Amino acid sequence: MPEKTTVRHLMSTDLATLQPDEDISFATGAMRFHRIRHLPVVEDAKLIGLVSHRDLLRAQAIVASRMRDGAKAGATAVPAREFMTTETQTVHPDTPADEAAALLVRHKIGCLPVVEDGALVGIVTEADFLSWAVGMLASANAF
């Protein structure tokens, strides 16, 4: 019987992350540089939140509002702790891949941070599942 595919087989472990005090411009630059749409927010290796592209749009609206209200330079900096999502669905590396995929679909989210013993160890995204599916289809069609 073949080995069951788990999140460990699909997740990325070379992660770009944010600290809670890093601001919107840093987050935007990190997403653009790494070509990603999700940034885990960590403090002492523990996941405390997640910043998605959608969260960045919300933060940009906060900045625009502050600027409209005449905020002084520097007062428009918005730290990640103010715009991150804190209610984040997570999985363990040994979670079966089908269960993790079902969570993405059920909750209409694009990624799942992977946590083990309280520490962030990876992230699994829609793109990871799509890449895996492409490989499985190619393998199945090779026969």
Considering only the C-alpha atoms of the chain, give the largest distance between any 2 of them, rounded to a whole number of Å: 66
Q: How many domains does the chain have?
A: 1
Which residues, 6 or more positions from 107, have their beta carbon under 8 angstroms from its beta carbon? 89
- Higher-confidence position of 133 and 64: 133
- Identify the domain containing residue 28 by its residue range: 7-141
**CA torsion angle 30 128 56 25 (round to 10):** 0
Sheet holding 46-52, edge to edge: 38-43, 46-52, 119-125, 111-116
pLDDT of residue 42: 96
pLDDT of 2 reads 60
Per-residue pLDDT of 12-59, as tens digits, reads: 999 999 999 998 889 999 999 999 999 999 999 899 999 998 898 888
Residue 12 lies in a domain: yes
Query: Residue 29: which CATH number?
Result: 3.10.580.10
Q: What is the pTM of this model?
A: 0.85
**Kindly report the CA angle at 115 between 1 and 58, in degrees rounded to 5?**
125
